[in-house]
């Protein structure tokens, strides 16, 4: 069956403030949302993207070296995640999938915490309330409902913070995502649906999920939507700020489709050469989010040797810390397997835990061993 690729085409309809060749494009609707983004601010966005790409590369290397069981690379999606992530306020709350490591970076996550899950040392890397970001959701699209419910709570509290949920093009086929939009519209909840259309849901192209641009669906739910160049960090920042403002001022939910591209595999366990064309990769490499901002900075005289060296040093430093943190991560204790299933004691589990403790003790020599072993 030939796939309709309308969902992936239509670049001319994208909101774009920075062209793939690094030219700043004026946009009367969106320029005002980034009017404050001066040279140093652009440099900061550049640094963010370089650092998170370096984190991503280091994590991929750690997986290849057997230090991580798995890693879901974000390569190519830096602008979508940094642009939106840097728009948020500290009291906003993020509900993401497992690929939003650059958003976690913006939220101030301890780098090594990102790796806990993938090293198998924990089921989630951090306490969500310390950085106001839930830990990665693996069930596709489930987090969009959590964000919507959280936003309903914000509304009940009379607060002006916003819940932001991240998901991919594949997730838009899930019932939960569609139900979340129904609820968000019904209650006019302050929530942003941030869809990174990276064109691939593992091996399935976006054309299999959608026959019209994904952003076109939201208005059917009564939710305003935009389709933005997801490789343009400035445009992603602008549209997210606009949506945040709408949510904070009682305007309800928004839907953002950031059209980007997953340059790497779905995870390190995947082999994209089996299902996608190398030419496609080349086309998207030409739209790289970092190199286009580098070109702009160069044209502004801001890509000085000093700046480039400093960014490189920071990225290297973060990568070294990430690697050290990964390797030095304390191993969990066997009996930790029983912890936190319930918040209060549970007679069934207590019995199993006690019995397993006795079983483990039979392997120990010395005072902890059972009497029979002496």
Query: Mind telling me the catalytic residues?
Result: 262, 266, 275
Nearest alpha-carbon partner for 258 in 82, 28, 29: 82
Compute how many other C-beta atoms are within 10 angstroms of the C-beta atom of residue 127. 9
Provide the minimum distance between the beta carbon of 252 and other proteins in the complex, in angstroms, as a whole number: 15
Binding segment for other proteins (CB under 8 A), chosen from 99-107, 144-152, 289-297, 360-368, is: 144-152
Which is closer to other proteins, CB of 180 or CB of 239? 180
Contact between 221 and other proteins per CB under 8 A: no
Q: What span, in angstroms and rounded, lies between the C-alpha atoms of 153 and 163?
A: 10
CA atoms lying within 13 Å on the CB side of residue 197: 30
Provide the minimum distance between the beta carbon of 20 and other proteins in the complex, in angstroms, as a whole number: 37
Contact between 145 and other proteins per CB under 8 A: yes
Binding segment for other proteins (CB under 8 A), chosen from 99-107, 178-186, 306-314, 321-329, is: 178-186
Contact between 330 and other proteins per CB under 8 A: no
Contact between 69 and other proteins per CB under 8 A: no
Nearest alpha-carbon partner for 145 in 178, 169, 186: 178
What residue ranges in 96-209 does DSSP mark as E strands? 163-168, 191-197, 200-201, 204-205
Parallel/antiparallel/unpaired status of strands 200-201 and 191-197: unpaired
Binding segment for other proteins (CB under 8 A), chosen from 177-185, 198-206, 249-257, 311-319, is: 177-185
Q: What span, in angstroms and rounded, lies between the C-alpha atoms of 227 and 209?
A: 17
Residue of 4, 13, 21, 123 that binds other proteins (CB under 8 A): 123
Binding segment for other proteins (CB under 8 A), chosen from 25-33, 124-132, 229-237, 292-300, is: 124-132
Pair 287, 260: CB distance under 8 Å: no
Pair 318, 64: CB distance under 8 Å: no
Residue of 42, 114, 115, 134 that binds other proteins (CB under 8 A): 134
Residue of 71, 98, 111, 183 that binds other proteins (CB under 8 A): 183
Compute how many other C-beta atoms are within 10 angstroms of the C-beta atom of residue 9. 12
Q: What span, in angstroms and rounded, lies between the C-alpha atoms of 208 and 101?
A: 26
Contact between 133 and other proteins per CB under 8 A: no
Contact between 103 and other proteins per CB under 8 A: no
Which is closer to other proteins, CB of 348 or CB of 363? 348
Provide the minimum distance between the beta carbon of 362 and other proteins in the complex, in angstroms, as a whole number: 20
Query: Facing residues of 204 across strands?
Result: 201
Q: What span, in angstroms and rounded, lies between the C-alpha atoms of 71 and 366?
A: 41
Q: ∠128-132-138 over CA atoms, to 5°?
A: 50
Please report where in the chains the tokens 């509900």 appear, as a residue.
95
Compute how many other C-beta atoms are within 10 angstroms of the C-beta atom of residue 187. 17
Which is closer to other proteins, CB of 129 or CB of 363? 129
Which is closer to other proteins, CB of 343 or CB of 365? 343
79-98: which residues touch other proteins (CB under 8 A)? 93, 95
Residues lying near other proteins in the complex (CB under 8 A) are found at: 93, 95, 122-124, 127-129, 134-135, 139, 142, 144-154, 156-157, 163, 175-176, 179-180, 182-183, 186, 339-344, 346-349
């Amino acid at each position: 069956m030939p796939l309709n690729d309308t969902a992936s085409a239509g670049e001319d309809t994208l909101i774009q403030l920075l062209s793939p060749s690094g030219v700043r494009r004026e946009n009367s609707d969106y320029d005002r949302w980034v009017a404050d983004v001066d040279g140093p601010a652009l440099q900061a966005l550049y640094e963010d993207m370089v650092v998170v790409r370096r984190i991503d590369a280091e994590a991929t290397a750690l997986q290849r070296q057997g230090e991580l069981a798995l890693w879901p690379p974000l390569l190519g999606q830096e602008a979508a995640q940094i642009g939106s992530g840097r728009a948020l306020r500290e009291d906003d709350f993020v509900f993401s999938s497992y690929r939003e490591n650059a958003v976690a970076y913006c939220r101030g996550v301890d780098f090594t915490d990102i790796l806990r899950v993938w090293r198998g040392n924990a089921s989630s890397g951090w306490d969500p309330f310390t950085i106001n970001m839930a830990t990665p959701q693996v069930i596709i699209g489930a987090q969009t409902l959590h964000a919507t419910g959280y936003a309903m709570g914000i509304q009940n509290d009379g607060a002006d913070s916003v819940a932001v949920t991240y998901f991919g093009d594949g997730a838009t086929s899930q019932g939960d995502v569609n139900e979340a939009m129904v609820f968000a519209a019904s209650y006019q909840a302050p929530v942003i649906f941030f869809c990174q259309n990276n064109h691939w849901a593992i091996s399935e192209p976006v054309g299999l999920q959608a026959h019209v641009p994904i952003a076109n669906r939201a208005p059917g739910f009564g939710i305003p939507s935009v389709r933005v160049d997801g490789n343009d960090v400035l445009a992603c920042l602008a549209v997210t700020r606009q949506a945040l403002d709408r949510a904070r001022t009682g305007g309800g939910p928004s839907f953002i489709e950031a059209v980007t591209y997953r340059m790497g595999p779905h995870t390190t366990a995947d082999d994209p050469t089996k299902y996608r064309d190398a030419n496609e990769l080349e086309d998207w490499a030409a739209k790289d989010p970092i190199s286009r901002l580098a070109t702009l900075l160069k044209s502004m005289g801001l890509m000085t040797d000093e700046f480039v060296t400093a960014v490189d040093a920071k990225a290297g430093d973060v990568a070294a810390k990430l690697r050290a943190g990964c390797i030095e991560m304390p191993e969990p204790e066997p009996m930790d397997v029983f912890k936190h299933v319930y918040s209060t004691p549970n007679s069934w589990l207590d019995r199993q835990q006690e019995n397993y403790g006795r079983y483990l003790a039979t392997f120990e020599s010395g005072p902890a061993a059972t009497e029979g072993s002496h």
